[in-house]
Copies of this chain bind each other. A is one copy, B any other.
């Protein structure tokens, strides 16, 4: 196994599990701890991991509350399936907007290498994953970066989205329902999402079923703005039907 392969795998393990430790990695890959330390150092220098005594934690973590880590990994499966399903909605050779959020980050990671696209995003983790994808023309939307979500917000971001027109926007929401629309806890972030939605001809909402019925502080649109919702099978058939009656197509991955 080559060093970069091992490092890639370490990175994956770190992201999945929220942490890795030197000794078990050494065992896992059948190399000495020194080698693992070197790998971790390289990944740390590349800004992908944060080194800690005894191991490392992923640097790009969107959500680093320890108690949420477990829930995060259990939802990982749904999010991966949703991201996979979203691939089918990519235009053949056009422009897409990718919102911030862990599902979007997974979508970015899942883009096949032969993809040819123009991508616009205000999410740092999404940008980091796409920056070296050879087929992708990446445009970064600037702005003040919120620590919690690592997404750019405020004036620069709003203006940038106001100046472009994309084929599809893939957006995430912390809560969605027919009654209360699309909501998220932060006002500034909601404003950016609204601008992103307005900049696209077609809007695809990626949200696992646990988000359904939730409502948060800031609303950035109604379900009527959403052309397609991709969620998981946890959404009940009745809810699905209700949403479909509202004009939103629903895919349950």
Contact A132 B8 (CB under 8 A): no
Q: How many residues of A contact B (CB 8 A)?
A: 65
Q: Using an 8 Å CB-CB cutoff, how does the interface string of A108-133 with B read, 1 for contact, 0 for none?
A: 01001110000000101101110111
Cβ of A253 within 8 Å of any chain B Cβ, yes or no, is no
Q: Are A129's CB and B47's CB within 8 A?
A: yes
Chain B residues positioned under 8 Å from A113 (CB to CB): 58-61
Q: Known: A139-B144, A142-B140. Contact between A124 and B134, CB under 8 A?
A: no
Do the beta carbons of B142 and A4 come within 8 Å of each other?
no
A119: nearest chain-B partner, CB-CB: B145
Q: Which residues of chain B are near A125, meaning CB under 8 Å? A: 46-47
Q: Are A65 and B132 in contact (CB under 8 A)?
A: yes
**In the bound complex, what is the Cα–Cα distance between A238 and B141 (angstroms)?**
45
User: Complex Cα distance A59/B128, Å?
Assistant: 8
Chain A contact residues, CB within 8 Å of chain B: 2-5, 7-8, 11, 19, 42-48, 50, 52-55, 57-69, 72, 105, 109, 112-114, 122, 124-125, 127-129, 131-135, 137-145, 147, 150, 152, 156-157, 160
